[in-house]
Homo-oligomer: A and B are copies of this chain.
Amino acid sequence: MRLAIDAMGGDHAPDEIVKGAMLAAKEYPEIEFILVGDENKIKPIVGDHPQFEILHTTEKIEGTDSPVKAVRKKKQASMVLAINEVKEGHADAIISAGNTGALMTAGLFGVGRIKGIDRPGLAPTLPTLKESKGFLLVDAGSNMDAKPEHLLQYAIMGSIYSEKVLNIASPRVGLLNVGEEPGKGNELCKQTYKLLQAAPIHFIGNVESRDLLDGIADVVVCDGFSGNLVLKTMEGTGMSLFSLLKEKLTGSFFTKVIAGLLYPKLRGIKKQMDYSTYGGACLFGLRAPVIKAHGSSKASAIQSSIRQAKRFVDKNVVEMIEKKVQEIDIESIKEDYGE
């Protein structure tokens, strides 16, 4: 297996990205890595390691760049060249911790869609607090004006990925909604509910956003606008609460001393909320695994993303999605429901 890595994307690039790849290289001697980025910075870290090849470039896409423009204009950017490696068949998958929008754009145009998939969906694994297996959210921000068919495709892709890559037998797929009863929500939800009921998945019905952290479903399906709102509300609420907690607990000398004794516990909770430990977000629906590692990824998070990419490739998830999606006759499902 050959893996292309955008060595220049993310807050701690290239050092932590390269170090993460080296950790993974030790774990998987069968993987060959193509590190795309500044050779002058990468070479001193990898040396002459036989599993590594460097594709030199100094151009990079910044986090603040406008995605579509950046992909179009920066043709020598590390992310774009890494995607090209997959496009030209030199690599089986690609990982980047860079600009999410740019990766979605470059992935869509460079790698291309799986036949039968209309729109790619971004799928991070978010934390659950009671059990630590997390849940997959599709779509977390790729497809803003999704249609019911897109959500059906997300449900199928999420279900296959969850089973094959995350090892969850018969993953529970839930539709993100504002109430549990069928018939709740907006038109998109009402139509999607019917499609999911008829789909070859373990559909458990509507799930509410307040129950997500409790692990109510393994795969949660929604349009990209809603998914992104929920993702950022969770992050924001968690961070605001932690900062308030810190402020209150260090308000007086007395509480400060006591709180100091509890810090290891608080750090533990914060770590449990940190979804970068679950690996990167997958861009579902493309002809090869495209994985977006968290922007703040350090070596161990990159290593997790590489494990994820390896299983993604080994289990033939892309082929399975292609096959399953083509078996489904959306028009006949719609007819069944009198659409």
A residues whose Cβ falls under 8 Å from a Cβ of B = 129, 141, 144-145, 176, 178, 185-187, 189, 208-214, 223-226, 228-230, 232-241, 243-245, 248-249, 251, 255, 258-259, 261-262, 265-266, 268-269, 272-273
Chain B residues within an 8 Å CB radius of A262: 249, 255, 258-259, 262
Give the residue of B141, B223, B232, B244 whose beta carbon is less than 8 angstroms from that of A272: B244
Q: Is the interface of A mostly helix, strand, loop or mixed?
A: helix
Total copies of this chain within the assembly: 2
Chain B residues within an 8 Å CB radius of A214: 236, 240
Measured CB to CB, the nearest residue on chain B to A230 is B233
List 16 additional A-B contacts (Cβ < 8 Å) besides A248-B266, A249-B265, A251-B265.
A141-B178, A144-B178, A178-B224, A186-B225, A213-B236, A213-B237, A230-B230, A233-B233, A233-B237, A237-B238, A241-B241, A241-B269, A248-B268, A255-B261, A258-B258, A258-B261
Query: B187, A211: Cβ atoms under 8 Å?
Result: no
Bound CA span A229–B222, Å: 11
Bound CA span A136–B226, Å: 20
Give the residue of B178, B230, B233, B269 whose beta carbon is less than 8 angstroms from that of A244: B269
Measured CB to CB, the nearest residue on chain B to A211 is B236
Query: A176, B248: Cβ atoms under 8 Å?
Result: no
